[in-house]
Amino acid sequence: MRQILGSLSAVVQGIAEVRKEYGSGHGKDSNFKGLQPRHAKLAVGASSTLAIYLLETHEMRKYN
């Protein structure tokens, strides 16, 4: 479980790095091409998995 959680926490860092590199901000020129929708789906899926786990863990601990 610790290995899985460690990998999921790396997702947070990875998404931040991808946003910095491929996001539409940070002074990109008009010819800049971002990532494909499949990349966004991967980021959303991974981050939502982590968010749901953290929320469920919080709720479980709140009532125990």
Structure confidence at residue 26 (pLDDT): 66
Structure confidence at residue 30 (pLDDT): 73
Structure confidence at residue 28 (pLDDT): 73
Q: Is the pTM of this model over 0.85?
A: no
Query: What average pLDDT values come out for the chain (64 residues) when binned by 10 residues?
Result: 88 90 74 86 92 94 84
- Residue 34, sorted as left (phi over 0), alpha (psi -120 to 50) or beta, turns out to be beta
Helices (H), 1-64: 2-22, 37-62
